[in-house]
Structure 1
């Protein structure tokens, strides 16, 4: 049975239960399986040798914060260079993600879906038990797959600290 963490996250002040471990700086980044589209999967190994900024959002086209978070990291990704990959993970279905990113002009971020088995959510401790969405968070993982930055946003409706996440990436390249 997966670890459950309470008292660490809320949605509009209502308590949430997060499933999975709390990752810390220095931890080895857990592997995961997510969907690139309905037929293709991706894992941590697909981004080997690159610095990875992983932006996690509950749902791309249902909240303004998710939209803003993805746009901000898309803008930043354009400036971070070829040794960095920026991933956005949500449980939105891949065709909804594709439709949203095309409509919004998102082209520097790779958008991935954890809809099938919530592998990413459980491995990174961001799966919300009550609603089966992912809690807003940001992870920076170095080229050797060691976690170098973690932010679990405590309140789902708040923004992550964009500046700190980007600074963590820049310190690695």
Structure 2
């Protein structure tokens, strides 16, 4: 089994390749861009190992979506998203090259319970929709929170202000305010 650890970044990612059987580092931590050319480079490096023998792990965050979608479209079965392996092992500072090895360690080790989750190919679209729905809900809650704070300030400073208008936060209300 070949382990691939990918440390995700905004503009670029790092990956390394390890042989699970003997722990040998087959490909030292290498940088690739978060775009089509970078993804193609990654697949070129992984091509000699065959898809069936490759287990890919990557850290989570929203920057991994494009790469995950690409890997799924190229029929890599179940890339694994690891949950902050650096924190699990007590690391504080960010080191892209070492993080790739840590991700491989998380894939290899049986000491960590629920340290990763397998991404199902047929569920990825639902995952994106769920993320958008959660984000929409959070934005609505945040808007409500700030509207309440604004209303509190208006009530304290100008208690009679609201009685002058039929609708709170309308165009005239906000322009006068």
Q: TM-score, normalised by structure 2?
A: 0.31
Structure having the higher Rg: 2
Q: Which of the pair is proportionally richer in helix?
A: 2
Q: Which of the pair is proportionally richer in strand?
A: 1
Q: TM-score, normalised by structure 1?
A: 0.31
